[in-house]
C-alpha cells in the first residue's frame, strides 16, 4: 500500500493550504515536512526534487508533484471530486479559477506595505461582493441544488468554502447579502471530513500574521 502523501511547504497557508483542504475533504491523511529555513529550501533545490525550483511540492503515488494547479487537479480527479464528464470539469475549472483569483488577493495582503493595506482590503471586499460571490449565489439559486456542479461535492465546493472563510476573516459579515451562500457555507462545513478539518488541532493553518510574513521573507529572500 502506498504511503500517505507528503507535503513540502512552509508552516503556513500560502499556496499549499488549498491542497491541504482538498486532501482533508477527500478524507485522505497526509504528512507534512516543513520548510523552516532558507537552508531547508536550498536542500530541496540541490537534491533536484523541485521541477521548477519552487514549492509547494507533494509526494504522492510515486511522483514529486509541483505547481499548485497540477497538484489540485490530480487530487480532485483521483478522489472523484472533478465531475463526471468534460463539461462538468470545465464548470469546476471556471469556478475554481474565480475563487483562486479572490484567494490570491487575500493571500498577498499581509505581504503588502502598511500604507496600501487598507486600500487593498477595501478592493478585496469590493471584488468579493460584486464580482465573485454573486456568481456563486446565482449558480446555486438557479439550479436549486446543494452543490455547484452536478449536485455532488466537487473541488469547486471545497475551494469556495475556503474562499468564503478567508473573506470572512477580512470582513466577518461579507456574506450578509448572500443568503444562499450562507446556507451553502453551513452545509459544506458540516460534511464530516470538512468538519473535522475545521476543528482546532487539525492540519489547517491559521491566518498569516506578521511573524509568519517575516519567516517567509527570510526563507524565500523576498
CATH number for the domain running over 6-79+198-212: 3.40.30.10
Beta-carbon contacts of 150 under 8 Å, excluding residues fewer than 6 positions away, are: 83, 84, 88
Q: Contact at 8 Å (CB) between 23 and 191?
A: no
Q: What is the pLDDT of residue 222?
A: 82
Same topology, domains 6-79+198-212 and 86-191? Answer is: no
pLDDT in tens, 82-138: 999 999 999 999 999 999 999 999 999 999 998 898 899 999 999 999 999 999 999
CATH class of the domain at 86-191: mainly alpha
Q: What is the pLDDT of residue 1?
A: 43
Segments making up each domain of the chain, as ranges: 6-79+198-212, 86-191
pLDDT in tens, 7-47: 999 999 999 999 999 999 999 999 999 999 999 999 999 99
Q: Contact at 8 Å (CB) between 149 and 80?
A: no
8-state DSSP, 58: E
Beta-carbon contacts of 4 under 8 Å, excluding residues fewer than 6 positions away, are: 28, 29, 30, 31
Omega cis (within 30) before 27: no
Give me the torsion for CA of 133, 130, 126, 101, rounded to 10°: 50
Q: Kindly tell me if the per-residue pLDDT of 162 is higher than 50.
A: yes
pLDDT in tens, 183-201: 999 999 999 999 999 999 9
Q: What is the pLDDT of residue 129?
A: 97
pLDDT over 90 for what percent of the chain? Answer: 95
Amino acid at each position: 500500500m502506498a504511503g500517505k502523501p507528503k507535503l513540502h511547504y512552509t508552516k503556513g497557508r500560502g499556496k499549499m493550504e488549498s491542497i491541504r483542504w482538498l486532501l482533508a475533504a477527500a478524507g485522505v491523511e497526509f504528512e507534512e515536512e516543513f520548510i523552516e529555513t532558507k537552508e531547508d529550501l536550498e536542500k530541496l533545490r540541490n537534491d533536484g526534487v523541485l521541477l521548477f525550483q519552487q514549492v509547494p511540492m507533494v509526494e504522492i503515488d510515486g511522483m514529486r508533484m509541483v505547481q499548485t494547479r497540477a497538484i489540485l487537479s490530480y487530487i480532485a480527479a483521483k478522489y472523484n471530486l472533478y465531475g463526471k464528464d468534460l463539461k462538468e470539469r470545465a464548470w469546476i475549472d471556471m469556478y475554481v479559477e474565480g475563487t483562486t483569483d479572490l484567494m490570491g488577493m487575500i493571500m498577498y495582503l499581509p505581504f503588502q506595505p502598511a500604507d496600501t493595506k487598507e486600500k487593498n482590503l477595501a478592493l478585496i471586499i469590493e471584488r468579493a461582493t460584486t464580482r465573485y460571490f454573486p456568481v456563486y449565489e446565482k449558480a446555486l439559486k438557479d439550479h436549486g441544488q446543494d452543490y455547484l456542479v452536478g449536485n455532488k461535492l466537487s473541488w469547486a465546493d471545497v475551494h469556495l468554502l475556503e474562499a468564503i472563510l478567508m473573506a470572512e476573516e477580512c470582513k466577518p459579515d461579507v456574506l450578509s447579502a448572500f443568503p444562499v451562500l450562507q446556507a451553502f457555507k453551513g452545509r459544506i462545513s458540516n460534511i464530516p471530513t470538512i468538519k473535522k478539518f475545521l476543528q482546532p488541532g487539525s492540519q489547517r493553518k491559521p491566518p498569516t500574521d506578521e511573524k509568519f510574513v517575516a519567516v517567509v521573507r527570510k526563507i524565500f529572500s523576498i
